[in-house]
Amino acid sequence: MSGITTVDKDIDLQELAAFVWREADILDRCDYDAWLALWTEDGHYIVPIGKGENYEDQVNVCYDDAKMRRMRVERFQQGFSISSAPPADTVRTVSRFVLQGATGDEIVLGCAEHVVENKFGRQRIYAANLTYTLVRTDDGLRIRNKVARLLNSDGELTAFSYLF
Partner 1 sequence: MSLDHSPVHPGPAHHTPARPEDLVEHDRVQTPLYEDAALFEQEMEKIFAHTWVFVAHGSEVPEKGSFVLSWVGQQPVIVVRDRKGDINVLVNRCRHRAATVCEVKKGKTSSFQCPYHGWGYGLDGSLRGVPYPEQYGKDFDKSTLGMKALRVDSYQNMIFATLDDGIEPLAEFLGPAKKWIDLFMKQGGGYPVKVLGEHQFTVPMNWKIQLENTTDAYHFPVVHKSFIQSLDKEAEATFNFFDKAGFVEDLGNGHSVAVMIPELVDLDENLDDPIPERFEELAQALRDEGFDEPRVRKIVRATGGAGFNLNLFPNVSLSLAFFRVLRPVGVKETAIRHVCLGMDGGPAAANRMRIRLQEHFQGPMGFGTPDDAEVWERVQRGTLGGKELPILVNRGLVDEVPGVDGPRGHLSAETGMRASYQMWKRMMAQ
Rounded CA-CA distance 41/150 in Å is: 24
Answer for which of 5, 42, 81, 95 binds partner 1 (CB under 8 A) is: 81
> In sequence order, what are the residues at sequence separation of 6 or more whose Cβ sits closer than 8 angstroms to the Cβ of residue 48?
55, 58, 60, 61, 147, 149, 153
The Cα-based distances of 60 to 6, 40, 49, 147 in angstroms read: 31, 21, 5, 11
83 contacts partner 1 (rule: CB under 8 A)? yes
Name the minimum Å distance from CB 1 to partner 1. 23
20 binds partner 1 (CB under 8 A): no
Site string for partner 1, 40-69 (x = CB under 8 A): -------x-x------xxxxxxxx----x-
The residues of the shown chain that bind partner 1, judged by CB under 8 A, are 47, 49, 56-63, 68, 71-72, 74-75, 78, 80-84, 120, 154-161
